[in-house]
Amino acid sequence: MRTTFGRTFLPAAMVLLAALLIVGIALKLLVSSYMKEQAVSSLEKDGQAICELASAYYSSETSASRHDFMLNLTLVSRVSGGDAVIFDREGILLLCSDAPFGCKHQGLQVNRSYIDRVLEKGKVVDTGRFKGLYEESRFVVTQPLFHAVNGKLLGFVMVSAPTRDYMQVERRISNIYIMLSVLVVAAAMIIMSIYARQQSKPLRAMAKAAHAFGHGDLNARVRLDKGYTRETEELALAFNNMASSLQKTEYQRQEFVANVSHELKTPMTTISGYLDGILDGTIPEERREHYMRIVSDETKRLSRLVRSMLDISRLQEQAIPDEKKTRFDLLECVGRVLLTFEGKITGKDLQVDVDFPDCPVYTRAAEDSITQVVYNLLDNAVKFCPQGGELSIRITKTNQKAYVGIANSGQTIPAEELPLVFDRFHKLDKSRSENRDGWGLGLYIVKTIISSHGENISVTSRDGRTEFSFTLPIVI
């Protein structure tokens, strides 16, 4: 399995080596071209100077002039580091700068084609070995020599320098470049290794946290560091958010199991106890009908609990599909549900305040589900409203939304309890000894239904008045 360092360094190393290779080739070509241009330029200058000296010598036949010419020729040759050779018009070697008073090459004749090329071009620049004269590779510049007075062709001047000196400079530059390249690659490996470790550090931390989380440590999180890149920080935040969400889900699952177990335990114990009492004769025959009714009520309560949990499961699976939504009058729906509570409202002598618009308010939703929402909210409002209290139902609308509010007077819900009222099995009475008709699922179902429509529901409670309000879209 390839590591982050391998995945990071290999492409970078290939790019770096390719760049160094291209730069090295370009540098070698540039240096070689520059060195050759410098050598040829220097030889051309030396050749021009020697031509001027030789022209002056051949224009004056005195021995003093000849002696001066030989000295100057030797001096120019030594200063320039090259060799100068003078040929006559037929290409026969007359003298060499390294032995102006006698040279073993005297009498050597060059090819006629070479002489013709020099006369044609006026100057010839070559690189290589000059057979019979030089056995090593050299830069050679040959140009014609003319009489200073009458301009007649006197011969040719050949100036040359060995290429090995220039090649040594080129090799020295190449060696320095190779050494620097090796140092650059080594430094790059070290830097990339450190960089890869720094980049893989958060990944290892996330892998460690994920491993711990997978083995039951729900508090495992990735520690954020200011040195992280933006992408790595976003990944760490996403992991932490996912872990928090999963932790919350797990806690909710545990709480759900505990609550269901608690809610099922009491009716199951009651049913089992009464049935055992009937079967073993502990309960007298004349009281059996009474206890059988209690068993029937508890069974119905269990049935309602199961039905509620099935409703919740169904609603959580998916949003309300459009084909199940219909257009209906929200006023008529709320009014119809309100009529079903007439008996309970009358029994508690409640004062009902209804605030509806004068015209119908049409919405598009799952009518049965909205009916259940209104029913659950009214049931809670009536249930927790004290004897002789006030019940308020209002519907207001804007251009796009309808707002339904159901409020009741009574005990104020503590502020710390408000965010929890829509949770499953949440009850204000933690002992669950009161309100045996409630499971703490009604408001959770309400919240689930409204959310499945893409709408919002909220609750406020202050100064002895509690109000639940939710929104629905308005259609024409």
With the C-alpha atoms ordered 254, 260, 263, 268, is the resulting torsion angle positive or negative? Answer: negative
Rounded distance, CA 311 to CA 290, Å?
Answer: 32
Query: 269 lies in a domain?
Result: yes
The CATH number of the domain holding residue 163 is 3.30.450.20
Rounded distance, CA 94 to CA 102, Å?
Answer: 9
Mean pLDDT of 272-300: 85
Question: Where a domain ends, among 296, 316, 336?
Answer: 316
Query: 150 lies in a domain?
Result: yes
> 238 and 281 in one domain?
yes
Give the pair of three-digit tokens for residue 153. Answer: 């062709």
pLDDT score of 348: 93
pLDDT score of 404: 96
Query: 206 lies in a domain?
Result: no
- pTM assigned to the model: 0.45
Q: What angle (nearest 5°) sits at the alpha carbon of residue 265, between those of residues 264 and 270? A: 105
> 450 and 344 in one domain?
yes
Q: Is the pLDDT of residue 433 over 50?
A: no
pLDDT score of 26: 87
Query: 176 lies in a domain?
Result: no
Mean pLDDT of 240-262: 76
Per-residue buried b or exposed e for 371-399, using 16+ beta carbons within 10 Å of the residue's own CB: bbbbbbbbbbbbebbeeebbbbbbbebee
> 329 and 393 in one domain?
yes
Higher-pLDDT residue of 90, 321: 90
Mean pLDDT of 144-168: 83
* Amino acid sitting at position 213: F
Mean pLDDT of 368-390: 91
pLDDT score of 434: 40
Mean pLDDT of 337-351: 92
Higher-pLDDT residue of 200, 469: 469
CA distances (Å), origin 55, targets 66, 148, 153:
11, 5, 10
> 96 and 12 in one domain?
yes
> 87 and 65 in one domain?
yes
Number of folded domains that form the chain: 3
Rounded distance, CA 247 to CA 225, Å?
Answer: 23
> 340 and 285 in one domain?
no
> 438 and 291 in one domain?
no
Task: Give the whole-number percent of the chain exceeding pLDDT 90.
Answer: 17
Query: 144 lies in a domain?
Result: yes
